[in-house]
Amino acid sequence: MSYSKILNKSSRRLLLNKNAVFSKHSVRGLGVLPFLGRLLKLRYLFLGSAVGGGVAIHNKYENFRSNLPDFSWMKEFIPEDAYDRFYSKIRQTYDTVHSPNMDIIMTRFSNLRNLAQNYIETLKSNTEEGLLFLGATSSFVDENGKLTENIKVPLLSQSNGPVGPKQMSDKERLSRLQEELMNIQLKYQKELEKFEKENKELKKQLLLQREKLRGGKVRKIKKSLIDMYSEVLDELNEYDSAYNIQDHLPRVVVIGDQSAGKTSVLEMIAQARIFPRGAGEMMTKSPVKVTLSEGPYHVAQFKDSKREFDLTKESELVALRNEIELRMKNSVKNNQTISNEVISLSVKGPGLQRMVLVDLPGIISTETQGMAQNTRDSITRLATAYMSNPNAIILCIQDGSIDAERSNVTDLVSKMDPNGKRTIFVMTKFDMAENIQFNPDRIKKILEGKLFPMKALGYFAVITGRGNVNDTIESIRDYEEEFFSKSRLFREGILLPNQMTTRNLSMAVSECFWKMVKESIEQQADTFKATRYNLETEWKNTFPRLRELDRDELFEKARGEILDEVINLAQIKSKEWEDSLNKLLLQQSSNYIFNNIYVPAAQTESLGSFNTTVDIKLRHWAEKQLPQKCVDVGTLALMQEFENLINKEHAKKNHDNLLDPLKQHVTEAASKCHKWDTKAMDSLRIIQSNALEDRSVPDKQSWDSAIVFMETMIKEKLKEIQEQIREFKGPSFKDRWLQWKSVTPEQLTRSATINELEKLQKSFDRLKQNLDSDEITAVKKNLQAQKIQVDEAFIKETWTFVYKQNFLQKKLSVCSDCRNFYFYYQKGFTEQGIDCNDIVLFWRLKKMLNITANALRQQIVNIEVRRLEREIKDILDDYAQDQNLKKQLLTGKRVELAEELKRVRQIQEKLEEFIQALNNEKNS
């Protein structure tokens, strides 16, 4: 029989007996009517407390017994006879705790009920001589838990005079019995806690022993039912955080005004001070989902972390509070005060009720300085979003120390749950409400749901602290139980036993939570089953020939292809590497060779000066710039070849364009982070210096190759210069007529200047790199005659290109003239009047570039490819953890549909797994 039914039955019996007394003795009864009314009220209260407390403790015991762990898995590690002895010892210990105390308590409750019935019969039979009391039997429990002998309470005379020295008033006797009942409850609770501690130590020893076992099959401990349910909620939160479509599974939403004590209520339920707190300051800045479950150790752990916080140590509690506060601050972005990002935390410990609670920021009425302008509305929207879930259990927290009219939360809750079908009302700071603002009628209305427009399933009064933030949960719980045992409101019947203490609140919330879970979980599973079917049908119609690869699977596919191409770098032939390196080295060094070495040396007047200038500039280049430049070229060649291999995949039939942005991003990241081995630079400097110092061309074939190399470089440079001059002059006459192109004023000016400079250079005996002032003045005057105004800088800039064009054209003729002069070079003769030292310079450069390309190729194949592979693996590992980056690089309808299908499948599988575990628990 339920607790409420027992109370209702008892109250009806008392009312019937009371009516019988006054109908029989209406005249004489009027004189004792006030006293009799108070007495019956006390008897009713006493009887309700006895029966209610007994049922509550009995239910707690049965619930604890049903949760006794299953040790059958130990049979795999312990011999059968040892296991039987072990399990029988557990049952014996359990029965030792249970049998004497439970028998004592249930016997005591039976005696108390008989006492109440005997007293009522006395009222019926003794009215002529006055109101007499029949001696009632009262039993007490000694220190050993055994029943003492019966104690007879003497009768009271009509004049209320003393009958014996041990006489006591009815009120005193009832008060004593009521205190005795509370003591019995506390004593039994301590016995349960003692057994829980023993069970905790035993489970710890078993787990430690299990870890020491070597070999054999080790079974994993199954997840608890509440942990499975919490995982379902985490999946749903990511899938549908606004509760608009799918997520209608129950949660206990803790909501209240700021500083009303809602966080403290949650801490009392979790039996640990796990949340940061401040003096009147808003500390809860984002939703915190707390999953409570029973376990051997009192620990806490974040969803995305492997660290466990030991809640029995103050240092670990401080670290946990700091971590929660840090996560809240990091979740708040864009200058806001609160965040919608959920912080998931699991708390396990002995005696914890299994449920999922969500602590929300407190409701505020005024935005203080430092808050964002929309903070108040943001908090209201956040709370409304969570409460709009039709299966959410609303734990409405009301500060009992302030006037009820100052509360903001009750109106909000009444709008979301007008019928009170899923609301539980909690009045905090009840000690202050009773001691400071004692108004029994007002408190009674609140706890009966008659003061607020809000309705609720139940009304509770709790105490979650004594004003000291350093108080432990145990001290607060002891203070709470002691206070309620002496509470005036409790003794006067305003506060019922099942309405007080956080322990009763926790049990009631847990019972309501699991009831709603069992009622809604099947419907939720059916909803996701239908959603999954619809998504699978859409995929078949939209992408009939493609696999359903979600974002993570596509990333892994791209990772494999990228790493395959890195391995293929080592398969490239040596000649291909050297050709690529030679080409890049020539491109990167061509400008420096011409502008800083060849052209300045060519301006010297003698052969000796040319060679000296070349030697000096080559040595400076080799020592200061060349090694670093070549290393950069090597890195560039490596990344170009890697990119070429990646791009070759585009031509394949099975190429997936969806992966191209990711591959490109990885290639760019690898190019930025790859650094050439610095040790290779020193050896490269030595071989380059030695190659540049060698002036001897060994044979005619080498001489010819040097001429070809010089001619190729000059033609490439000449082509570049001529292209720039054509751009200066603008489109030709043919292009203007056939392609409808026009010449800009700047191009006309530049073309006229070029013509004047070409006329001027024809008058020179030899090429001049720089013009003197008289020559520049002459050009300006000639242009002014054509009504063209230019400055000196414009003329010098234009002359640079004209000079280079004429210089390169002249040096091309040297290549032709020196082609057959290797014999004279070998003998050291210069009588022919032809200077071929340019060929020797380009031979030295060609030799240096070939040696450098070979050294870079060896470095790439032997070292750099492996280093690049490690770097790319690190990059891919980082990308694998960055969900936002993956969303940016892997996008499109195909990805989004596969992602949604994946999430729906995961949720459905977890729902079915949870439903199966829930059914197994029902059947067990």
| pLDDT per position as a tens digit, 179-206 | 676 566 556 656 666 665 666 566 556 5
Give one word for 370, left, alpha or beta, with left for phi > 0 and alpha for psi -120 to 50: left
For the cut 70, the answer to whether the pLDDT of residue 39 exceeds it is: no
Q: Are 455 and 423 in contact (CB under 8 A)?
A: yes
- Please give the average per-residue pLDDT across 387-406, as a whole number: 83
**Looking at this protein, which amino acid is placed at residue 499?**
Q
Q: 245, exposed or middle or buried, with CB in 10 Å at 0-12, 13-18, 19+? A: exposed
For the cut 90, the answer to whether the pLDDT of residue 538 exceeds it is: yes
Q: Are 375 and 303 in contact (CB under 8 A)?
A: no
Higher pLDDT, 58 or 586: 586
**∠ Cα 144 149 154 (to 5°):** 135
The rounded Cα 757 to chain-centroid distance in angstroms is: 70
For the cut 50, the answer to whether the pLDDT of residue 85 exceeds it is: yes
For the cut 90, the answer to whether the pLDDT of residue 105 exceeds it is: no
Torsion sign (Cα): 730, 734, 735, 739: positive
- Please give the average per-residue pLDDT across 441-464, as a whole number: 83
pLDDT range class, residue 114, cuts 50, 70, 90? low
Alpha helices in 498-542 (DSSP H): 502-542
Q: Are 257 and 399 in contact (CB under 8 A)?
A: yes
Task: Specify the pairing of strand 252-256 against strand 393-399.
Answer: parallel
For the cut 70, the answer to whether the pLDDT of residue 31 exceeds it is: no
pLDDT digits (tens, 9 = 90+) for 877-923: 999 999 899 999 999 999 999 998 998 898 888 888 888 888 887 77
**∠ Cα 323 328 334 (to 5°):** 140
Q: Cα–Cα distances in Å, from 872 out to 724, 768, 887?
A: 41, 53, 19
Q: 399, exposed or middle or buried, with CB in 10 Å at 0-12, 13-18, 19+? A: buried
Q: Cα–Cα distances in Å, from 81 out to 13, 74, 75, 77, 86?
A: 55, 12, 10, 12, 9
Q: How far is the C-alpha of 363 from the C-alpha of 260, rounded, in Å? A: 9
Domains of the chain listed by start with CATH number: 246-525 (3.40.50.300), 561-881 (no CATH)
Cα dihedral 462, 463, 464, 470 in deg (nearest 10): -170
Output the pLDDT for position 742.
83
pLDDT range class, residue 41, cuts 50, 70, 90? very low
Output the pLDDT for position 146.
39
What token pair was written down for 151?
């104690």
Least confident span in 73-87, 782-796, 837-851: 73-87
**∠ Cα 629 630 635 (to 5°):** 100
Higher pLDDT, 135 or 539: 539
For the cut 60, the answer to whether the pLDDT of residue 400 exceeds it is: yes
Least confident span in 50-64, 312-326, 672-686: 50-64
Counting every residue written for the chain, the total comes to 924
Q: Cα–Cα distances in Å, from 159 out to 34, 129, 163, 207, 790?
A: 16, 10, 10, 70, 134
Output the pLDDT for position 496.
80
Q: 747, exposed or middle or buried, with CB in 10 Å at 0-12, 13-18, 19+? A: middle
pLDDT digits (tens, 9 = 90+) for 470-494: 788 888 888 888 888 888 777 777 7
Output the pLDDT for position 309.
93
Q: Could you identify the residue written with the tokens 């939403």?
A: 253
Output the pLDDT for position 22.
33
pLDDT more than 90, % of the chain:
21
pLDDT range class, residue 87, cuts 50, 70, 90? low
Q: Which of 53-57, 337-341, 592-596, 729-733 has the highest mean pLDDT?
A: 592-596
Q: Cα–Cα distances in Å, from 124 out to 27, 29, 547, 563, 647?
A: 14, 11, 85, 96, 103
- Please give the average per-residue pLDDT across 110-121, as a whole number: 53
Output the pLDDT for position 484.
84
Q: 400, exposed or middle or buried, with CB in 10 Å at 0-12, 13-18, 19+? A: buried
Output the pLDDT for position 183.
66
Q: How far is the C-alpha of 41 from the C-alpha of 19, rounded, in Å? A: 14
For the cut 60, the answer to whether the pLDDT of residue 121 exceeds it is: no
Least confident span in 126-135, 314-323, 487-496, 867-876: 126-135
Output the pLDDT for position 89.
56
Q: Are 356 and 513 in contact (CB under 8 A)?
A: yes
pLDDT digits (tens, 9 = 90+) for 602-629: 888 787 888 899 999 999 999 888 999 9
Output the pLDDT for position 258.
83
pLDDT range class, residue 10, cuts 50, 70, 90? very low
Q: Cα–Cα distances in Å, from 716 out to 51, 154, 443, 591?
A: 105, 128, 98, 11
Q: Cα–Cα distances in Å, from 799 out to 124, 319, 737, 787, 853?
A: 133, 74, 29, 20, 36
Q: How far is the C-alpha of 744 from the C-alpha of 258, rounded, in Å? A: 73
What token pair was written down for 741?
């192109």
Q: Are 84 and 106 in contact (CB under 8 A)?
A: no
For the cut 50, the answer to whether the pLDDT of residue 654 exceeds it is: yes
For the cut 80, the answer to whether the pLDDT of residue 745 exceeds it is: yes
pLDDT digits (tens, 9 = 90+) for 575-585: 999 999 999 99
For the cut 90, the answer to whether the pLDDT of residue 559 exceeds it is: yes
Output the pLDDT for position 843.
93
Output the pLDDT for position 735.
75
Q: What is the mean pLDDT of the chain?
A: 77
Higher pLDDT, 19 or 335: 335
For the cut 60, the answer to whether the pLDDT of residue 451 exceeds it is: yes
Alpha helices in 593-625 (DSSP H): 599-602, 607-624
